[in-house]
Structure 1
């Protein structure tokens, strides 16, 4: 007797609905599951092996990929989201890309969204908080065969197939080197701002910054570390409080976003150009602060290149193809004198 859909579902350990979607070439099943179903159908004689199901995308087949990014007032994340959409759209109708902005630094919301995407997508790119709830969600979806790509900030001990982003520890060391070189003699107090140290990338930047200060600038002293959740208004409030508490702050390193709030506080307190200010990501706002002298340097990671590489690698993994061998994302220090054209 010819095998049935129920037989295939039982052997492949999936639902009959999943088998039906695969056999009718509908979206909503990630590639590894699709391949397992097709191989089972061939082995049971439901499909002829001569039909040729080798894991490559069929003409007209749609590959869905999803990206989970933090929402809020982060201009860099807005730019990255736009570049992800543009890169995916440029690959034609066979790519169905979705960008989801997860509001706030909420690991439970991020984990819920990851779990909700099971069976709906062929691959996920995520900027992930390094939190137990998030790690468990990645283990569950990754263990089920869904390719997971970490972006911008890596996450440890999870089944992710790759990481797209800069070496954040090296970025923190570069920021410390610049601040240490620029700071005025006798102004040895330094403050740090971070979005959240639950991001491994932010933690690594802090570690790199602290390490180079200890090695090369031992006279500099970190007097404050304030987490501002990458929020502009909170950054402004915290920076204003810092400047009111310390008359002798010589430098500020902003590990994450919120540069607009810090710059506004420096300008309103008459400290712009006096306090050395180093931050991350070249945006329309940080470009303006470099030109005005409010910021001294920006460590940039080029979201356009990151988006291109993320789409390319995630598509390859979703289609069960060999991932491309891409060069690492370059860290670039940008000053007023070398701001690139838009």
Structure 2
């Protein structure tokens, strides 16, 4: 049988109240008594069930999500998943709030993180912008004992506790492999170009997807020229405009990879373009708009990440960190789904 607090109290010759003070690192216990109780805890191999203790105390976890204020369908879905998680607060013992900040902007995100460092919630999840100022603000939160999870886009080099998102290098390499296979053998002659559309190179997920994409194309399909990346800030109107301008300038575009969002603008531009020789289009995130585009052949492949899984993972990890419990890595691994019109769920 597992040792209990009653066993500790009996072996140490102290009251249950004293054992509780030692376990919770509270004052009011003489140093010699504290050392005796801690020695008994080690000898008995007692492991405290923090989660059960918090459940008994009805502890509530105030968690804060920082989400870009974006017009993209995917970020709206992240927002919706956070709101749904907040609606389950009574069951999951969470008090979830969310703050929207301008997409791809460093200063508003840093100010929000600095304010939260003073408010001291039980944990913070954010869609990160990869900038030194953001990294410093995250490190200060962690230094104050506030767990931090990056969501969708990571912040390597920071002291964040966990990343809830897909392997974006692998996603980019997957897109390159599929695009190269789709285009050969008819279009792999000289002079064929690949367009790449991103939201912003300030976010790590877009940069990593592009890095993986370029790397595999260079090694496996060197005859394909990757054009300079276009940045549409995940805004459908801006994406529509810059793609139409590209199609008017270039008639040799054989394929297109959209690493970010703004897919409504992408789809609209693809339907309106007349000059480009597009034969394959790969984009990210399954939404009602990209689903329709898969079905009608406007888009060939969608690479998808489960927004609900990412939000739930962030909550589980933040609660585990607050309780100083281990995280089950396999449970928190976010997979990359590949959808074509024939396997749509």
- TMscore range, shorter length: 0.7 to 0.9
Q: Which residue of structure 2 lines up, in the alignment, with residue 334 of structure 1? A: 339
1:304-342: CA deviations, max 9, x gaps? 2222222111122123333333252111110011111xx
Q: Which whole-Å CA distance do the structure 2 matches of 1:308 and 1:226 have between them?
A: 32
> Does residue 234 in structure 1 map to residue 233 in structure 2?
no
Structure that is richer in helix per residue? 2
Contact 2:238 2:265 in 1 (8 A): yes
Structure 2 spans left out of the alignment, 5+ residues: 1-20, 38-47
| Cα gap change, 1:272 to 1:71, in 2 (>3 Å) | farther
**Is 75-84 or 54-63 further displaced after alignment?**
54-63
The verdict on how the C-alpha distance between 1:271 and 1:244 changes in structure 2, with shifts beyond 3 A counting, is closer
- Partners of 1:164 and 1:221 in 2: CA distance: 33
- Mapped partners of 1:95, 1:272: distance in 2: 51
Asked if residue 192 in structure 1 is aligned to residue 196 in structure 2, the reply is yes
Per the alignment, in what secondary structure is the counterpart of residue 314 of structure 1?
helix
* Superposition deviation, residue 112 in structure 1: 0.7
Query: Structure 2: how far apart are the matches of 1:42 and 1:171?
Result: 55
| Aligned residues of 1:263 and 1:272 also touching (Cα < 8 A) | no
Residue 312 (str. 1) matches residue 316 (str. 2): yes
1 CA distance for matches of 2:157 and 2:150?
Answer: 12
Asked if the contact 2:198–2:234 (Cα under 8 Å) also holds between the matched residues in 1, the reply is yes
Residue 100 (structure 1) aligned with residue 99 (structure 2): yes
Partner of 1:81: 79
**Stretches of 4+ aligned residues off by more than 3 angstroms:** 40-45, 52-56, 270-275
Aligned residue pairs, count: 302
Is contact 2:254–2:277 with CA below 8 Å preserved after alignment? no
Q: Which has the greater radius of gyration?
A: 2
**From 64, 76, 86, the counterpart of 1:66:** 64
Match 2:260 to one of 256, 263, 278: 256
Tell me which residue corresponds to 1:270.
274
Residues of 2 paired with 1:177 and 1:164: CA distance?
A: 25
Unpaired runs of 5+ residues, structure 1, are: 1-34
Contact 1:148 1:160 in 2 (8 A): yes
For residue 135 of structure 1, what is the aligned residue in structure 2?
135
Equivalent-residue separation in structure 2 for 1:79 and 1:328 (angstroms): 19
CA pair 244-116 structure 1, distance change in 2 beyond 3 A: same
Q: Secondary structure at the match of 1:117?
A: helix
